[in-house]
Amino acid sequence: MPPPKSGTNAAFGDNMAGSAMPSLRRHTLLRILMTAATLLPAAAASAGAAGQAQVYSSNQSSTTQTSGPESPLPVFEMHSGFWVNLHHFLYLQARLLKGNSASTETTRGAAQPDELPVSLIDFPAADIRAWQDAVAFYSKDLAGRDLLLNGDMEIINNQLSVMEACSELEGKSTPLCKSGLRQDLVEALERAAPVYRAHWWAQQDRANREWIAEVAPMIQKMGVELSGQLADVYQRPWPSQKIRVDVVWYGGPFGAYTSLDPIHLTISSHDPRNRGVYGFEVLFHEASHALAGAVTAAISHEFRERDKPIPRDFWHALLFYTTGEIVRRDVEYGTMTFTNEQRNGSSVYLPYAARFGLYSGSWEHFRGLLDLYWLPYLDGRVSFDTAMARLAADM
Ligand SMILES: [Zn+2]
């Protein structure tokens, strides 16, 4: 959820080989009010991750599906991978051990994990030593790094995510399992792996799968429609390939993050903010990071034109506002129907940023301006350029 590294937006076009849904993009924004009755098959079938990746499908069987007994999810490709979960869990444990080094996590939307380091009481002595060694290794350096903004952490996450079917990371079993990661990191992960597998993985994997099973029906029903709506709004094609999502127990202080080269979404199944429809909104907020190019370009153009400083994170507030508003409409107009539980018990849908207190300080001001000048664009009443110009003029 934090902003991508500077410069990544400039290269983001490389990921956009073309739109998966060209016809959707021509529709007007008023489609937001329409019912999505059909489930389009994903336009670009995933190439299939070397036959070894575990890709989850919706549990829901549907009489309308046309493609075999399992209906793959559109838009996203969901994974619950062993190594990427272990990596984030060690990262969390190392940070918890550091205690209140929370000063770096006062960023908007950041939350301290509300838990204690795992208890090792009654573990075999060898397990305790192996686990503590691995946590100590993470504490030394990696735990102080940002999961997204640090390039090494991004590479580690990307590499481990594709190793999910591997029993080791050095390529001893098959060359496909040679991670290419630093030897000391590989050793720490391999040392911790049997302990993690014996004590925590089954429970965390189950939580990840349950989380996927909860969002899957929403993605089946609305994923294609919503991706088309967001591509329309942001004037960028939705990625032609399904977006890889790694569901992890711990997903950093924001509960989710997205790196752009390649587009890779990591989201926590355990973060209480990601429950129900909010998990669905967060997925699309995260995916929107890959579509933000026209927005960031227009913001810098309009502010430079007026010789005004570009307000920090304004583009990110706009992304939150937009996804939240579109999901709210889909809920309100019945395009999506949810159980009360999926709505987290609420009868109306309060978008994520409002629900979790992101609109404070400068963001409160941003929200007022977005209500005034961006909402008319989402309603189809003014053009993208007009909305951007008015936002910059009144900021
Ligand atoms: Zn974000």
- Position 60 scores a pLDDT of 34
289 CA to centre of ligand 1 in angstroms: 6
- Position 81 scores a pLDDT of 98
- Label residue 260 left, alpha or beta by phi (over 0 means left) and psi (-120 to 50 means alpha): alpha
In the predicted structure, residue 26 carries a pLDDT above the cut 50 = no
199 CA to centre of ligand 1 in angstroms: 32
318 CA to centre of ligand 1 in angstroms: 10
- Position 24 scores a pLDDT of 32
In the predicted structure, residue 111 carries a pLDDT above the cut 80 = yes
Q: In 10 A of CB 35, how many CB atoms?
A: 12
285 CA to centre of ligand 1 in angstroms: 6
How far does the chain reach from its first CA to its final CA, in angstroms? 24
Under the banding of pLDDT at 50, 70 and 90, the label for residue 336 is low
191 CA to centre of ligand 1 in angstroms: 34
In the predicted structure, residue 124 carries a pLDDT above the cut 50 = yes
Tokens of 235: 């004037």
Taking each helix axis from N to C end, the angle separating 314-332 and 293-305, rounded to the nearest 10 degrees, works out to 130
- Position 98 scores a pLDDT of 83
The dihedral of CA 162, 166, 169, 172: what is its sign?
Answer: negative
Cis status, amide bond into 311, omega within 30 of 0:
no
Mean pLDDT of 1-27: 35
Under the banding of pLDDT at 50, 70 and 90, the label for residue 51 is very low
**Distance of alpha carbon 118 from alpha carbon 96, whole angstroms:** 9
HSE-CB at 307 with a 13 A cutoff on CA atoms is 0
109 CA to centre of ligand 1 in angstroms: 9
Q: List pLDDT tens digits, range 306-331.
A: 999 999 999 999 999 999 999 998 87
309 CA to centre of ligand 1 in angstroms: 21
- Position 59 scores a pLDDT of 37
102 CA to centre of ligand 1 in angstroms: 20
- Position 30 scores a pLDDT of 35
187 CA to centre of ligand 1 in angstroms: 33
Cβ contact 57:73 at 8 Å? yes
Rounded to two decimals, the pTM is: 0.81
- Position 333 scores a pLDDT of 74
Q: List pLDDT tens digits, range 85-102.
A: 999 999 999 999 887 454
In the predicted structure, residue 163 carries a pLDDT above the cut 70 = yes
66 CA to centre of ligand 1 in angstroms: 35
SS3 content of the chain, % helix, strand, coil (to 5): 50, 5, 45
Mean pLDDT of 125-153: 96
Mean pLDDT of 330-335: 73
In the predicted structure, residue 38 carries a pLDDT above the cut 80 = no
- Position 131 scores a pLDDT of 98
What is the overall mean pLDDT for the chain?
82
In the predicted structure, residue 167 carries a pLDDT above the cut 60 = yes
**Residue 248 Cα distances to 169, 228, 318, angstroms:** 19, 27, 27
In the predicted structure, residue 241 carries a pLDDT above the cut 70 = yes
HSE-CB at 354 with a 13 A cutoff on CA atoms is 13
**Distance of alpha carbon 268 from alpha carbon 253, whole angstroms:** 10
- Position 101 scores a pLDDT of 52
- Position 122 scores a pLDDT of 93
Provide the residues around ligand 1 (an ion) whose CB is within 5 A.
1
89 CA to centre of ligand 1 in angstroms: 22
203 CA to centre of ligand 1 in angstroms: 28
Q: List pLDDT tens digits, range 183-239.
A: 999 999 999 999 999 999 999 999 999 999 999 999 999 999 999 999 999 999 999
Q: List pLDDT tens digits, range 255-270.
A: 999 999 999 999 999 9
